[in-house]
Amino acid sequence: MATLIHDDIVDDAETRRGIKTMQSALGKNTAVYCGDFLFTRAFMLVADMAEVDMLKDLSKAIAYICDSEIDQNEQKFDQTVDVRKYLKRIGGKTAALFALSLAMGAHKAGCDKKLTSKLTNIGKNIGMAFQIVDDILDFTGNEKTVGKPLLSDAKQGIYTLPVIYSLQGSYKEETMKAIEMIDEDSGESLLECVIKSGGLERTKGLARKFIKKALKIKDSLPDGYGKDAITSIIEKQLERKF
């Protein structure tokens, strides 16, 4: 929650999931303090039940998230951003939190190192797929369902995988022109480019790869409620509408 509040401040976002953001409703100053407060509360709650190693892992994950957000900010309007940089960015922005969640849950449940490692990797792959699907929905989702204006990332100069793929192919020049006129036509030309170039389909293909990786690791988990719950979460990723 803290990272989302801070994210909305950086993006100057007015809505999230169809609801006014804290910075939009109460101002940036209040939003910064509330985000910081939630970070502090999170660490206080973890400190009540976590060992030193878990606190270290949590601190590393938060640092990785912040580092990835800095990378994203530095890469704004950079049309040379490649797939590798994008994957590194979302690996920190999103996947690190999913991986940490499953790792800490496994640790507290008394899982051995091998099983904890498997669950951590499942979390990472779910997180990668989750963010890629999020970036697909920024182009193809229903604005009311998604809860924010479509193509909001591209309008802010944050080029996600569909745009990166489109810039790398034969539609490069057309995509660059579409980016230039994104405010004039509300991104219609850019949407057309990512579809015609195959960028959107390639992005969906990569999301499927991460889902398949997660499912493959999941198959080696012991049978039970936990495995069933994880399976359900993985399989729902490509079906997400928001």
pLDDT of residue 11: 86
Q: Which of the residues in the chain have pLDDT under 50?
A: none
Q: Are 133 and 207 in contact (CB under 8 A)?
A: yes
Residue 76: give its domain's CATH number: 1.10.600.10
Q: Identify whether residues 23 and 138 lie together within a single domain.
A: no
Residues 8 and 92 placed together within one structural domain of the fold: no
User: Is residue 146 located within the same domain as residue 157?
Assistant: yes
| Whole-number pLDDT of residue 114 | 96
Whole-angstrom distance, CA of residue 134 vs CA of residue 49: 32
* Whether 32 and 55 share a structural domain: no
pLDDT at res. 241:
74
**Beta strands 15-16 and 19-20: pairing type?**
antiparallel
Claim: this prediction has a pTM higher than 0.85: yes
Same structural domain, 91 and 35: no
CA distance 233 to 27: 35
Q: What is the pLDDT of residue 147?
A: 67
Same domain as 26, residue 66: no
pLDDT of the residue at 228: 96
Which sign, positive or negative, has the C-alpha torsion 5, 10, 13, 16? negative
Question: Are 7 and 65 found together in one domain?
Answer: no
Residue type, 56: K
55 and 32 in a single domain? The answer is: no
- Token pair 């909305």: residue: 8
Which residue, chain included where needed, has tokens 């190693």? Answer: 53
Domain count, the chain: 2
Contact 199, 166 (CB under 8 A): yes
Identify the domain containing residue 30 by its residue range: 1-49
Same domain (yes/no): 162, 178: yes
Query: Could you tell me if 15 and 75 lie in one domain?
Result: no
Same domain, 5 and 67: no
Same domain, 32 and 146: no
Please give the pLDDT value at position 48. Answer: 84
| CA distance linking residue 126 with residue 214, whole number of Å | 6
